[in-house]
Chain A
Amino acid sequence: MSCMAMTQLPVCQVSYNIVDERGANAQVQAYLPASTTLSDAATRAAALRTAIAALTQGSITSQSITYPFVDPVAPAAAENSRVEQKGVFVFRSASTQLTRIQIPAFPLTLVTVTGSIDEDLPLVNALVVEMVDNGWVASLGSDIVALERSYQIMRTTTRNRRARDDRPD
């Protein structure tokens, strides 16, 4: 599917997770201009966190800074697309860490009879080249260097993903 580039929303979101003495969690959310650099956002988030920490009876366990984007003209989903149908790609990093990505609504036409993904197909190869050669990293920051394996899975359909007329009362 082709589409135009993503459009940045007008804000970046700063959020904090607060836990109380019983272990229950709540979030605090505030917004900075989208043009705020990550470095400035981190500085401003830290200042607000300090101010909140001085007043809250809970503990702040984490902080997130999120920059959201939307595609206002994204193509519609194809007929019979199902997000539970995943294409799984396991990559190896320079530090030998394995990292996995899952692509929702993966086409079965790209899957072999054994359930593996045909890595010789141009669309699949384009993803592998992108992940290996374009600066993507594993979750601990080490460069991705190779595709280890790929396969298709069907995730369990959650209640929210069932058709509305097929949900138990």
Chain B
Amino acid sequence: MTVQTDMLGTVRYRFRDERTKLSYCSVYRDFSSGPVTWTGPLESLRAALSGLSLASLYAADVRFTTPFDWSVPGGSTPVTRGIVVYYANASGDSGELLWLPTVAPDADLSVIDSLMIAHYVDRDGDPLAERIGVREYVSE
């Protein structure tokens, strides 16, 4: 079920059994009064769930989903086509890719660039420094 309220989070406790098969247990919590940190109730529920499962409780995540009103788009480009934008990270050893389905290769990326470099990081947590490339992709 999609959670409708922005501050209402889905906490998913992730399990792995002896065969390394995966599953999870979802619960809901309102995070409007505090930060998303692994303390208090999240940890005490982890302990309770762990005591009731033979599987390994190896990870968890807290997700906030916001659905939007939308209509069928008029553009004819399928989501299997688009561009991938390459950003270098600040330490220069790696970076991050931003896949943008249905976006044209000649699109003006200046606003996206400024947002990515000001606020976003690569998946290791290093800040992004500059855009270093754009490539068109077709995945069909």
List the interface of chain A (C-beta within 8 A of B): 1-3, 5-8, 10-12, 18-26, 28-34, 37-38, 42, 44, 47-48, 51-52, 54-71, 74-84, 87, 99, 101-107, 110, 123-124, 126-127, 130-131, 134-141, 160-161, 163
Contacts and interface: CB of A to CB of B under 8 A. Distances in A.
Interface in B32-67: 35-39, 41-67
B68 A83 contact: no
Contacts of A83: 15-17, 21-23, 55
B27 interface: yes
Interface of B: 1-8, 15-19, 21-31, 35-39, 41-68, 70-80, 82, 96, 98-104, 107-109, 111-112, 115-116, 119-125
A91 B96 CA distance: 42
The 4 residue pairs across chains A and B that have the minimum distance between CB atoms: A57-B75, A10-B125, A105-B55, A26-B79
A51 B61 contact: no
Contacts of B6: 42
Nearest to A126: B48
Contacts of A54: 111
Contacts of A77: 16-18, 54-56
Contacts of A11: 121, 123-125
A74 B47 CA distance: 12
B50 A38 contact: no
Contacts of B43: 5-6
A30 B28 contact: no
Nearest to A70: B59
Given A126-B51, A136-B45, A57 B56 contact: no
Nearest to B110: A51
Contacts of A58: 73, 75, 77, 79, 101-102
B77 A20 contact: yes
A55 B98 CA distance: 14
Contacts of B15: 83, 104-105
18 contacts: A11-B123, A58-B101, A59-B72, A62-B68, A63-B65, A67-B61, A68-B61, A71-B59, A78-B54, A81-B55, A101-B26, A101-B27, A104-B55, A105-B15, A106-B53, A123-B48, A139-B1, A163-B19
